[in-house]
Amino acid sequence: MKILVINCGSSSIKYQLFNMEDELVMVSGLAERIGEPQGKLTHNKFPDTEDELTIVKKEPIPDHKSGMNTIVSLLTDKEYGVIEDTSEILAVGHRVVHGGERFHEPALISDEVIRAIEETIPLAPLHNPANLTGIRVAQTLLPQAQQVAVFDTAFHQTMAPHVFHYSLPYEYYEKLGVRRYGFHGTSHRYVAKEAARLMGRPLDELNLMTIHLGSGASTCAIENGKSVDTSMGMTPVAGIIMGTRSGNIDPGIIIYLAKSKDMTIEELDHVLTHESGLKGICGLNDMRDIHKKATEGDKRAQLALDMFVYRIKKYIGNYSAILGHLDGLVFTAGIGEHDIEIRERCCEKLERLGIVLDPEKNKQEHEGPLQINKPESSVEIFVIPTNEELEIAQQTRELLESKGFK
């Protein structure tokens, strides 16, 4: 079974082709700067193997259909391709950021599913239109393949009403869908499954906290394998501090800024999404640059680090209380997987919660999963590289097999 995974952004297309018999990545690639005067497509055949072969094409990519046409032609290319004909692709798994309340699981794409995704565009105006573009182009170019939508929000649809409701007039929920949805669901689900495998226990018997730390960042409380709380909310701006996103703030600040600086809704949105977070505090949003500045004595860089760690530790405490006990704590994504200092500081003084990090294990170089707790720690602590594309492929396969496709 070969499954093509597509993650379509407003000006980019990320893709991977999997052979699901062994979950091997046959091809990975990225088309970017779509619609700009000069586009770029990077295509990797058998990535991270001895047989890896890469081609970089720098040429205009006028639209997503053009980009997908090039991708499909490369998949069947005699030198850079890995299949003889597109009929070998059984399915295309599409990342869809927002599924609203309707989608708890992946869905075979139909006209009805497309309409439902269109209805959630007001909740994800930057992402869902691009995701829909990818779906429509793939339907045209790969008509024989099953098209499957995998939703970032689906994993969190197990949250209870008292968790996902906001304390606002109830009609806003009924009429406008104002509630907490959560995001990064494919990442949280993937690393939770990996943690359970590493612990040698069924996921549905475990209480876990997963911490996804990249330019976007979120936490998730998982009880008996199900998401019961997450830090992001109705939008991906909420929760812990991120690279350029504010995370949780007093909502009264928005009113104050609007009045005192005569800011429009659009200006406020830009500030909260693109000018806040780590960048807002110290002018930098790459954690490596922030560490360097802090080491040089930059006080605002140090403040940004302190704030970042503090907010994460608050969630560890909150989720420990909500879950009653933790069996495992998982760090993932760019910062979570590679930042030794952030992981160590996040676990400091948490011994009474059963969290005892081993500083030496935490410093070990690793490509795959790494366990970093001391033997006396009642909570197993892991660093697990996330793989959202593989999770989308796995969920696509599971859905197809449940429908009788092989």
The yes-or-no answer on residue 77 being catalytic is no
CA distances from 369 to 6, 73, 145, 330, 381 (A): 25, 35, 33, 10, 11
Q: Does domain 2-151 bear CATH number 3.30.479.10?
A: no
* Structure tokens that stand for 37 in this block: 């005067």
Strand partners, 5: 16, 93
- CATH topology for the 202-388 domain: Nucleotidyltransferase; domain 5 (3.30.420)
pTM for this entry = 0.90
* Domain ranges across the chain: 2-151, 202-388
Burial classification of residue 194, based on how many CB atoms lie within 10 Å of its CB (0-12 exposed, 13-18 middle, 19 or more buried): buried
Tokens (6 digits) for 379 = 């909570």
Please list the helix, strand and coil fractions of the chain in percent, rounded to the nearest 5, in that order. 40, 20, 35
Q: Which of 51, 152, 286, 306 is catalytic?
A: 152
Q: CA–CA distance from 283 to each of 103, 244, 279, 303, 312 (Å)?
A: 38, 9, 4, 12, 21
Backbone angles phi, psi at 341, to 5 degrees: -65, -45
Task: Compute the residue count for the chain.
Answer: 406
Per-residue tens of pLDDT for the chain, all 406 residues:
899 999 887 778 899 999 998 889 999 999 888 888 888 999 999 998 888 899 998 988 888 888 888 998 899 988 898 888 888 999 999 999 888 888 889 999 999 999 999 988 887 777 788 888 889 888 988 899 999 999 999 999 999 999 999 999 999 999 998 999 999 999 999 999 999 999 999 999 999 999 999 988 999 999 999 999 999 999 888 999 999 999 999 999 999 999 999 999 999 999 998 899 999 999 999 899 999 999 999 999 999 999 999 999 999 999 999 999 999 999 999 899 999 999 999 999 999 999 999 999 999 988 899 999 999 999 999 999 999 999 999 999 999 998 877 6
* Exposed/middle/buried for residue 211 (C-beta within 10 Å: 0-12, 13-18, 19+): buried
What is the Cβ-side half-sphere exposure of residue 156, based on CA atoms within 13 angstroms?
32
What pLDDT was estimated at residue 294?
95
Same topology for domains 2-151 and 202-388, yes or no?
Answer: yes
Q: Which residues neighbour 77 within 8 Å (Cβ) at sequence distance 6 or greater?
A: none
Q: What is the pLDDT of residue 37?
A: 86
Residue-level pLDDT at 84: 87
Task: Assign residue 224 a region (left: φ > 0; alpha: ψ between -120 and 50; beta: otherwise).
Answer: left
CA distances from 210 to 156, 207, 265 (A): 13, 10, 33
**Contact in structure between 218 and 212 (CB atoms under 8 Å):** yes
For 362, which DSSP code? Answer: H
Q: What per-residue confidence (pLDDT) applies to 406?
A: 67
3-state secondary structure 358-391: CHHHHCCCCCCCEECECCCCCCEEEECCCCHHHH
Q: What is the pLDDT of residue 97?
A: 86
Amino acid 86: pLDDT: 87
Q: Are 11 and 32 in contact (CB under 8 A)?
A: yes
